[in-house]
Amino acid sequence: EFYTKLGLFHACTIEERRVAFFWFDKDNKKEQMLGIWEVSEEEFHKSHFAFKVNYEEIIHAREWLLNKGIKPRAAFGLEPSEPMVQTWTPTANLYFYDPDGNSLEFLCLLPEKKNVKQDVMHLSEWEKLPSDI
């Protein structure tokens, strides 16, 4: 249920293998798939996965998650009051956890680099900076 709330499409559950598969694309192109296995606590290791989104989606991602009962999380010393920017890439990001504690991220590639020394900042701060010419 968690991953369908994120907009993925349930493809198949195989009970005897304790696995569920989800398609990423809403257009049914079947280009990317996520498999989630149920494992014991001894076997479990946390993972990180990023979902690429567009600019409009990252702007509304916090509200979208909260409306689905999913709490965005702090990252790199910044509270999730809005998306943050990793300036070296540059990407706008918003982080959250799945029910198993895996780190998930919405990631939006930003169109231009800016000349800043700060590694991370909130998106609203980034947008006030002049473009790197």
* Coil/strand/helix, residue 40: coil
Q: What is d(CA 110, CA 98) in angstroms, rounded to the nearest whole number?
A: 25
Name the segment(s) of the chain with CATH classification 3.10.180.10: 46-133
73-116 pLDDT, tens per residue? 999 999 999 999 999 889 999 999 999 888 899 999 998 888 88
Indicate the pTM of the whole model: 0.79
Q: Which residues pair with 23 in a beta bridge?
A: 9, 33
Specify the pLDDT at position 24: 83
* Beta-carbon contacts of residue 25 (< 8 Å; ≥ 6 apart): 9, 31, 32
* Whole-number pLDDT of residue 28: 66
Q: What topology does CATH give the domain 46-133? A: 2,3-Dihydroxybiphenyl 1,2-Dioxygenase; domain 1 (3.10.180)
pLDDT band of 125, cuts 50, 70, 90: very high
